[in-house]
Chains A and B, each alone.
Chain A
Amino acid sequence: MNIARKRTSVMNRQKRAAFWFLLPSMSILALFVFWPIADLFWLSFHRWSLLDANHAYAGLANYVKLVHDERFWNAVVRTVYFTAGSVPVGIVLSLALALLANEPLKGMSAFKAIYFLPVISSFAIISIIWSFLLDPDIGLLSYWLKAAGFPASAWLRSTTWAMPAVIAVAIWKNVGFNMVILLAGLQSISASLYEAAKIDGAGALQRFWSVTLPALRQTLLFVVIISVIASFQVFDQVYVMTRGGPLNSTETVVYYIYHHGFELLDMGYASAIAWVLFVVVFLITLLQLRLFRFNETD
């Protein structure tokens, strides 16, 4: 009786607290994120040119157009290519770096700062750096590669190699980002867990599988989900490095959205594409949450 009452009062206290804790962030999200998203949904059923303040109702026209738009489907394929190429390799590399950086070695803070350098530089400057380095005729990197006997490639100017080059730059740019998150996760794993495993006679590899990975589950889940969402929305590096070219070989979905919305000023169609993209990303995220057994907190 008494215990039950105490429990309800704790529950009520938590409910009240949750309300106040969530109020600021949820009101800001509602106003500046969800309202525009809802607006976009409404607009995706309209003809909306940025040149015109009025929007004529268009029914499903934008969505019907999308189904038959070959270039949109090309963008979908290119986006999947980018994701498949950049996410797995990127996460494995950043986990390796994080494990390495977690070792108590001298000079580690300098190393970490170096690994983080690409993360803190802006895409505008990164594109300038890489298009200089990768220029097939006068670029320093291609010059050295050629001198070392590698076959010449046109990199960003080649329909075959532009996407691998964009993926490589994306990995280079983001590896430090994921490393920092994973490192924070690694550091909150209790040392006693490792000691217990050591006493049980577990080797380094075994400790990694049976202690590190399970303890890192929530962090890894976060890194995987965020990476997938971000790579489905990849825009900046494509915009500054290749403008989706050559021949649309690096044109991703968000670049295509940008092309329609900002270059052709057809925001109605851009909104429809954005909504389709959203549904796809949403489903993939739900699947990932299932796979990682998100709701089970140990």
Chain B
Amino acid sequence: MKTSAKRWATTTVTLLAASALASACGGGKPAAPAQTAGQDSAKQSAAQEQSGGKQDSSGKAVTLTFWNGFTGPDRPGYENLVKQFNDTHPNMKVTIDISPWDSLLAKLPTSLATGQGPDLAAFDSSLITKYAKSNLILPLDDLYSNGVDQNVLPKSLVSAMKYNNKFYAVPANNATLLLYYNKDLFKAAGLDPNKPPSTWDEWMDAIRKTTKTNGSDKQYGIALADHATIPMWPILVWGNGGNFVSDDNKSSRMTDPKTQEAIKTWSDLVIAGGVSPTNLTGAEADKLFQSGKAAMEMNGPWATGGYTQAGLNYDVAPIPAGPAGKVTLASTVALVAGKNTKNKDAVYEFMKFWVSKDAQAQLSGQTGFPPVRTDLGDDPKLKQNPFVPKFADVANDAKYYLPGLEQYDKIDSDVIVPAIQAITNKKASVDAALKDADKKLNDILQGKN
């Protein structure tokens, strides 16, 4: 008994002493690059060994830290790109730290605001306004005038990278949504699996035909997620010519007749037609489509890998055009420069590399995301993945959800999601829910909340 307790105590002391020693040694090494004085050089050398034993014999390598949330199956694609940068730039070294977006976004603003934080960071482009307005990230106009050509980016992407007419980011990736449809379920419902719907009328018809509301073999025409998801309802609103906020971001358009009509049409389909479950998350919608319980889904390029692996007989097509024409959602992760970086040149070098033709072709080929530039034409790397060109094709029809709004999160989570859920849960009529949302949204836009 006693001896085992002693052994435990000894182990603890040894462990503690060892860790203390390790950190003490780290602090004493002169090779630590100046700009990361707060960090432990022992760890850095360990990291170097891991990334393939690259030699920085001069000891003058500039080290950049890069925080992002590229978890999941795409992670190797991003890691490889960073590794490639390190291999081709012997005087620079980027250490990538990947953690889930929610914990990353909890500490990133605090770190930057208190004078620390990474040299490079990535987050959803909707956050640029917040960070730029608080001066936590650097303006990049000089990068765009020398090194990055804005004309090669899709047009909607260019404005998504700006705040107050100044560039604050380069695109780290670019995604558009397409209509995924299950060919087997189309066939079973008497629809032509090689002719996906192209207008709203055809679409609604296909949705109704593939919906089975009766007991045991229940099936949904479409899996329409409303929260914790890539936004899907906005596409329906835009397709009808409606929107949530005015183009100048000054007033609400929740009670605009076109917005109202779109929400009424689709919520009627959901409530009365039972074409989709309500209160669905993105992950749940994906599960329904993957298990053949839903015939269609709007989704981004990330889903193809899993569906193909599951042996699903499916294809993708542009979202059917509504009364107001073709439209889809664009979603972009932005690459930004932390305001406390001491190596702006190296940061620029990395950004230039990231959006370069080669890097984009490689990233796109590996992750299945469309490239962030439109001039890659028929690079063979893009064709490795047959879906990539289809997602790239709709880039010019794609719009961003609530672009340029500082209160993006609040508007989405406190106004729009609750309004749609109130309607689909039959807690309020379309009129009442949207009127209430209209008031709340105007309050937020006018800074009353």
Residues of A at under 8 Å CB distance from B?
Answer: 49-53, 71, 131, 135-138, 154, 157-159, 243, 245-248, 259, 262-265
Interface 9-mer from B14-22, B55-63, B362-370, B421-429:
B421-429
Evaluate contact between B113 and A53: CB separation under 8 angstroms. Answer: yes
Closest to A266 in B: B410
Evaluate contact between B279 and A138: CB separation under 8 angstroms. Answer: no
Q: How far is the CA of A154 from the CA of B114 in the complex (A)?
A: 45
Q: How far is the CA of A52 from the CA of B106 in the complex (A)?
A: 13
- B218 contacts partner chain A, Cβ-Cβ < 8 Å: yes
Q: How far is the CA of A159 from the CA of B422 in the complex (A)?
A: 10
- The contact string, 1 if C-beta is below 8 Å from chain A, for chain B 113-138, is 11100000000000000110110100
> Could you say which of B109, B113, B218, B421 contacts A137, with CB atoms under 8 Å apart?
B218
Q: Given the known A-B contacts A246-B425, A247-B418, A259-B413, are A157 and B134 also in contact in the complex, defined by CB atoms under 8 Å?
A: no
Report the minimal beta-carbon distance from A73 to chain B, rounded to whole angstroms: 15
Q: How far is the CA of A138 from the CA of B283 in the complex (A)?
A: 13
Closest to B130 in A: A51
Q: Given the known A-B contacts A51-B109, A247-B427, are A157 and B409 also in contact in the complex, defined by CB atoms under 8 Å?
A: no
- B280 contacts partner chain A, Cβ-Cβ < 8 Å: yes
Q: 9 nearest interchain CB pairs? A: A246-B279, A51-B134, A157-B279, A53-B113, A50-B109, A262-B106, A138-B291, A51-B109, A247-B421
Evaluate contact between B413 and A138: CB separation under 8 angstroms. Answer: no
Evaluate contact between B287 and A138: CB separation under 8 angstroms. Answer: yes
Given known contacts A51-B131, A137-B218, A245-B279, what 16 new A-B pairs fall within 8 Å (CB)? Answer: A50-B113, A51-B113, A51-B133, A52-B134, A53-B114, A131-B283, A135-B284, A157-B277, A157-B279, A159-B279, A243-B228, A246-B279, A247-B421, A263-B409, A263-B413, A265-B109
- B278 contacts partner chain A, Cβ-Cβ < 8 Å: yes
Contacts of A138 in B (CB 8 A): 287-288, 291, 293
Q: How far is the CA of A18 from the CA of B309 in the complex (A)?
A: 64
Q: How far is the CA of A59 from the CA of B137 in the complex (A)?
A: 30
Report the minimal beta-carbon distance from B225 to chain A, rounded to whole angstroms: 11
Closest to B284 in A: A135
Chain B interface helix/strand/loop/mixed: helix
Contacts of A52 in B (CB 8 A): 113, 134
Q: How far is the CA of A262 from the CA of B106 in the complex (A)?
A: 6
**Most-contacted residue by chain B among A157, A246, A263, A265 (CB, 10 A):** A246
**Most-contacted residue by chain A among B102, B115, B281 (CB, 10 A):** B281
Contacts of A159 in B (CB 8 A): 279, 425, 427
Q: How far is the CA of A53 from the CA of B284 in the complex (A)?
A: 39
Contacts of B220 in A (CB 8 A): 137
Q: How far is the CA of A53 from the CA of B117 in the complex (A)?
A: 13
- B227 contacts partner chain A, Cβ-Cβ < 8 Å: yes
Evaluate contact between A158 and B279: CB separation under 8 angstroms. Answer: yes
Looking at chain B, what size class is its interface with the partner chain? 35 or more
Contacts of A135 in B (CB 8 A): 284, 287
Closest to A265 in B: B109
Q: Given the known A-B contacts A51-B134, A157-B278, A262-B105, are A243 and B409 also in contact in the complex, defined by CB atoms under 8 Å?
A: no
- B99 contacts partner chain A, Cβ-Cβ < 8 Å: no
Report the minimal beta-carbon distance from B115 to chain A, rounded to whole angstroms: 8
Report the minimal beta-carbon distance from B277 to chain A, rounded to whole angstroms: 6
Chain A interface helix/strand/loop/mixed: loop
- B313 contacts partner chain A, Cβ-Cβ < 8 Å: no
Closest to A49 in B: B134
Closest to A137 in B: B293
Contacts of B280 in A (CB 8 A): 157
Give the contacts of B241-298 with A (CB-CB under 8 A): 277-281, 283-284, 287-288, 291, 293
Closest to A262 in B: B106
Q: How far is the CA of A67 from the CA of B164 in the complex (A)?
A: 36
Evaluate contact between A243 and B288: CB separation under 8 angstroms. Answer: no
Contacts of B106 in A (CB 8 A): 50, 262
Contacts of B102 in A (CB 8 A): 262
Give the contacts of B74-132 with A (CB-CB under 8 A): 102, 105-106, 109-110, 113-115, 130-131
> Can you list 29 contacts pairing A with B, beta carbon distance less than 8 Å?
A50-B106, A50-B109, A50-B110, A51-B113, A51-B131, A51-B133, A51-B134, A52-B113, A53-B113, A53-B115, A135-B284, A135-B287, A137-B218, A137-B277, A137-B288, A138-B287, A138-B288, A154-B277, A157-B279, A159-B279, A243-B281, A245-B227, A245-B421, A246-B279, A246-B421, A247-B422, A259-B413, A262-B102, A262-B105
Contacts of A262 in B (CB 8 A): 102, 105-106
Report the minimal beta-carbon distance from B280 to chain A, rounded to whole angstroms: 7
Contacts of A131 in B (CB 8 A): 283-284
Contacts of A259 in B (CB 8 A): 413
Contacts of A245 in B (CB 8 A): 227, 279, 421
Closest to B421 in A: A247
Contacts of A71 in B (CB 8 A): 414
Report the minimal beta-carbon distance from B411 to chain A, rounded to whole angstroms: 11
Closest to A54 in B: B113
Contacts of A158 in B (CB 8 A): 279
Report the minimal beta-carbon distance from A66 to chain B, rounded to whole angstroms: 14
Q: How far is the CA of A154 from the CA of B102 in the complex (A)?
A: 27
Report the minimal beta-carbon distance from A213 to chain B, rounded to whole angstroms: 32
Contacts of A243 in B (CB 8 A): 227-228, 281
**Most-contacted residue by chain B among A135, A136, A154, A259 (CB, 10 A):** A135
Evaluate contact between A247 and B228: CB separation under 8 angstroms. Answer: no
Q: How far is the CA of A264 from the CA of B115 in the complex (A)?
A: 21
Contacts of B277 in A (CB 8 A): 136-137, 154, 157
Closest to B106 in A: A262
Q: How far is the CA of A116 from the CA of B222 in the complex (A)?
A: 41
Contacts of B113 in A (CB 8 A): 50-53
Closest to B287 in A: A138
Q: How far is the CA of A259 from the CA of B102 in the complex (A)?
A: 11
Contacts of B427 in A (CB 8 A): 159, 247
Q: How far is the CA of A245 from the CA of B413 in the complex (A)?
A: 11
Contacts of B421 in A (CB 8 A): 245-247
Contacts of B413 in A (CB 8 A): 259, 263
Q: How far is the CA of A223 from the CA of B186 in the complex (A)?
A: 56
Contacts of B281 in A (CB 8 A): 243
> Could you say which of B218, B288, B409 contacts A264, with CB atoms under 8 Å apart?
B409
